[in-house]
Structure 1
Amino acid sequence: MDATQTAHFRDRLLAQQRTLLAQIADQRGGVMGRAEAAAAHFGHPEDSRAQLATERELEFALDEHETSHLSAIDAALTRIASGSYGQCTDCGTDIATNRLEVAPEASRCLTCQDSAEHHEHHG
């Protein structure tokens, strides 16, 4: 992969990273704000606790997904810095450029990704 391609993907990854960080910041302010509003609205301790629990579960689920996506982006940026970006971390072959266009944080070629997902679901 040449420097122009690498710069293109680095810019895309950095943009995704900024967007995710902004979403997380919005949710941190927004989720608790909605929970507090719900607690005030219901006025019943048992209802507000249930509402708060639901809001927190939603926040944790979103955080987990976004945190794993941020980790994948960070890892891809590290691979760019080390010169190994675009190579499958499992088998070492080049990852198809069209796959990187769709998922610039991808660390595996499609064959290795399918294999990894198969093991996760059936392991």
Structure 2
Amino acid sequence: MDKTQAAPFRQLLLTQQSALLAQLAAQRGGVIGRAEAAADHFGQPEDPRAQLATERELEFALDERETAHLAAVDTALHRIEAGTYGECTDCGTDITAARLYGTPEAPRCVHCQEKVELQQHHAV
């Protein structure tokens, strides 16, 4: 897919990137670090210890998920610049436009993605 064809997907990716960066910044307390934000957020003496631990783990898990999503978006933007966007990174076939509109950061066609997910499921 050339850059002209990829332009609508590029815009979707840039929108996702901006939203993710804003969300991560808000979760991390803006300009302060994640550790400081967590200490401020979870340091209330009236909160039960188990609740604090659960909330902290949930927040870090969400942060990791959003960081991974941001990395996938950045990688997709690099594929647009390289002229390989829309090609499955595993088998080289074209990824359908419907899949890219639904998940513009998708690196694989549906078939290859299903294989990866099946392998991950069996590894667990």
TM-score (norm 2): 0.84
Q: Does the Cα contact within 8 Å between 1:87 and 1:108 map onto a contact in 2?
A: yes
Taking the aligned partners of 1:71 and 1:104, their CA distance within structure 2 comes to 13
Taking the aligned partners of 1:53 and 1:116, their CA distance within structure 2 comes to 32
Q: Does the Cα contact within 8 Å between 1:76 and 1:105 map onto a contact in 2?
A: yes
Pairwise CA distance, 1:52: 3.0
Match of 1:35 in 2: 42
- Counterpart amino acid of residue 53 in structure 2: A
Identity %: 59
Match of 2:34 in 1: none
Pairwise CA distance, 1:29: 2.2
Q: Does the Cα contact within 8 Å between 2:87 and 2:94 map onto a contact in 1?
A: yes
Unaligned runs of 5+ in 1: none
Taking the aligned partners of 2:2 and 2:83, their CA distance within structure 1 comes to 10
Q: Does the Cα contact within 8 Å between 2:3 and 2:83 map onto a contact in 1?
A: no
Match of 2:55 in 1: 55
Q: What aligned pairs does 1:99-118 form with structure 2 within 5 A after superposition?
A: 99-118=99-118
Pairwise CA distance, 1:17: 0.6
Taking the aligned partners of 1:98 and 1:8, their CA distance within structure 2 comes to 13
Q: Relative contact order (alpha carbons < 8 A, sep ≥ 6): 1 or 2 greater?
A: 2
Q: What aligned pairs does 1:1-123 form with structure 2 within 5 A after superposition?
A: 1-29=1-29, 32=38, 33-36=40-43, 39-40=44-45, 42=46, 47=48, 49-123=49-123
Unaligned runs of 5+ in 2: 31-36
Taking the aligned partners of 1:54 and 1:66, their CA distance within structure 2 comes to 18
- Counterpart amino acid of residue 62 in structure 1: L
Taking the aligned partners of 1:54 and 1:29, their CA distance within structure 2 comes to 19
Q: Does the Cα contact within 8 Å between 1:17 and 1:70 map onto a contact in 2?
A: yes
Between stretches 50-59 and 94-103, larger displacement belongs to 50-59
